[in-house]
A = this chain, B = another copy of it.
Amino acid sequence: MPTIKREQWSRHFAKWFRHVLTDACIMDSRYPVKGMTVWLPYGFKIRGKILQILRYLHDSTAHQEMLFPLLIPETSLDKEAEHIKSFEGELFWVTRGGLTPLDVKLALRPTSEAAIGPMLKLWIRSHADLPIKLYQIVNTFRYETRATRPLIRVRELDSFKEAHTVHATEREAEAQVKQGIEIYKKFFDSLAVPYKISRRPDWDKFPGAVYTVSFEQILPDGRTLQIGTVHNLGQNFSKAFDVTYETETGEREHVWQTCYGIFAGRPLVGALAAHGDDNGAVLPPTIAPIQVVIIPIPYKKMDKEINKACQEVASRLKKADVSVEVDFRKDMTPGSKFYYWELRGVPIRIEIGPRDIKQKEATVVRRDTLERQAVKTNRLVVTIKKLMKTITEEMRQKAWERMNKRVYCVNSLDEAKRLLRRRAGMVEAPWCGNAECGHKLEQEVNARVLGTPVDSKEKVKERCMVCGKKAENIIRLAVAY
């Protein structure tokens, strides 16, 4: 992998990212269909770790994992008018089975509201059947006409986690949106990925939703990446699919729904972008398929002893639930092994050489800081376990600091324009709350309105940058992926 220094990422992030995906054996983007890629074994394992965290967070909050079919009949998709209107330009359509045309066209799911709707209608009779909280991890599809990029803008979202919940009251649905947000915060925190949470403006919410909350990360090139969304669907879909329940007093009412989704590829981009450096990927221990790599430093006649020591350390770490690998390859120098594992982002390297053996020590190297320390063999397991927590914590802190530096509070249109033109990051500005001013802003600064803050509640005293009226809220602007 060519060295592309982190300082240069504001301009060369895309290049670094492309290289790290390929050279760290995460994915291969040469598959002969636009916007579709192949997960390589190492990348697939990282993906697995990410999904494992998502599963844990959903299972432990009473969500049930299920699996719905990929294909949605046009007749189902048509039911929610806004939904189909918005997706119609980006659906893949199956129109032929075998040699004959299909009677009813089938769409590859872009998301599963319309697959789940007809089933909810069958499952829900009374209030006793509620709430329902389900999720699935599936491949979804968007016929993306713009330039595609692996993991960032793709046509097959091959690891989409979508949760769908159904409630008896509006209030419960509202509370569920909050739980969804909390789950996602925990998720990104465990990946040490920083985020800003915004409520999308009305003109840019999920098609069919009452409102949409979105998690954004600022990438090193100054553009923002949407890494997760939470939607309150109100009764829009339940009315479209006629999903009702009998209340305790015997009346029939439409259910209230929410949904929230994460395409696991995006948080991976997030983690790579937040932590990577000149030498390649830097994975937080929480999603690293190999958390510790042990490298023997060969020396004359001590090789047997050294290898044995490596093996012993490995088996002790394994017993302590650390995922570890010893790199015994004989056709590589220790130096080239360092390079190999640094590129792949393995959080901790242990080197064991003749000196270490004599001193009953091992040399421990952190991937994130590249700091070295000697650790007594009998303290090794405890030290490594503690170090993994420290690393995640410090990576998170550093990433948050880095992101926060790229959020700019501005008061003038010119400043906003200037910052966004040079891709400085996210811009926060006072806003009157009027959609018209929002649209004007987007045009003026040539960027996207992300919405209003969900993660901070500062009082706004300034005036709207566009109309000069008293500002009601903060508006966030960015050049978005």
Map CB proximity to B onto A59-79 as digits: 1 under 8 Å, 0 otherwise. Answer: 000001111111111011000
CB A450 to nearest CB in B, in angstroms, measures 26
CB pair A66–B93 under 8 Å, yes or no, is: no
CB pair B92–A94 under 8 Å, yes or no, is: yes
CB pair B44–A66 under 8 Å, yes or no, is: yes
Contact of A89 with B by CB under 8 A: yes
CB pair B106–A98 under 8 Å, yes or no, is: no
Residues of chain B within 8 A of A158, CB atoms compared: 67, 69-70
Closest B residue to A71 using CB positions: B33
Number of residues from A at the complex interface, CB < 8 A: 52
CB pair A97–B92 under 8 Å, yes or no, is: yes
CB pair A91–B95 under 8 Å, yes or no, is: no
- Chain A residues 94-116 with CB under 8 Å of chain B are 94-99, 106, 108, 115
CB pair B44–A76 under 8 Å, yes or no, is: no
What residues of chain A have their CB less than 8 Å away from a CB belonging to chain B? 28, 30-33, 36-41, 44-45, 47-48, 64-73, 75-76, 88-99, 106, 108, 115, 118-119, 122-123, 134, 139, 143, 145, 156, 158
A123 to B38, CA, bound (A): 12
CB A14 to nearest CB in B, in angstroms, measures 22
A122 to B31, CA, bound (A): 10
A385 to B298, CA, bound (A): 45
CB pair A32–B94 under 8 Å, yes or no, is: no
A143 to B106, CA, bound (A): 12
Residues of chain B within 8 A of A72, CB atoms compared: 33
- Cβ 8 A contact of A33, one of B31, B36, B106: B106
Residues of chain B within 8 A of A123, CB atoms compared: 28
- Cβ 8 A contact of A65, one of B44, B96, B106, B122: B44
- Cβ 8 A contact of A93, one of B67, B95, B143: B95
Residues of chain B within 8 A of A106, CB atoms compared: 33, 92
Closest B residue to A90 using CB positions: B98
